[in-house]
Amino acid sequence: MRIAAATLFVVLTLQAYAAEGDKTLVLPRALKAGEIAVIQVQVGSIARGQEIHVTTASGRELGVISPFGVRSGHEAGTYPIPIPADAVVGQQLTVHLSVTGNGAEPHAPTPLQIRSVKVVIGSSSAGQTDNREKK
């Protein structure tokens, strides 16, 4: 019973990552002129030499998160990745995350490796983001 409850908690906390590392994000509103979508990836504890590759569902590379100088066992932090406007369909964006490095095969991140992924709206000229929650 405890294992089932713990599993349910992890699944809810992770907000339904697909087994393959896919995550569909919804923008809080449609983009206006001069705005861009930015995903914020909160990276937990990953091993030295590991990287997080972020692509669209179709395989278009969006960025690579390569933490450096993080002490073993500590969370790596939050990393913003700007999203090209044509990668957003309607108000949705599906991203694929995979962990690589240390000679292992690429694999979907665990809940300990990726704490959260969210999308915010930023100004393409000032590099600022709008973190307000959609009501």
Distance CA 25, CA 2 (A): 30
For the chain, the domains span 17-130
> 4: pLDDT confidence band, cut at 50, 70 and 90?
very low
Q: Which pLDDT value is given to residue 52?
A: 93
Give SS3 for 17.
coil
pLDDT at position 73 is 72
- Assign domain 17-130 to a CATH class: mainly beta
Task: Give the phi and the psi of residue 62 in degrees, each rounded to 5.
Answer: -105, -30
Average pLDDT, the chain: 80
Compare 47 and 116 and report the one with higher pLDDT.
116
DSSP 8-state secondary structure symbol assigned to residue 73: T
Q: Which helix or strand (DSSP H or E) is residue 42 part of?
A: strand 35-43
pLDDT tens by residue, 81-120: 999 988 998 899 999 999 998 887 899 999 999 999 999 9
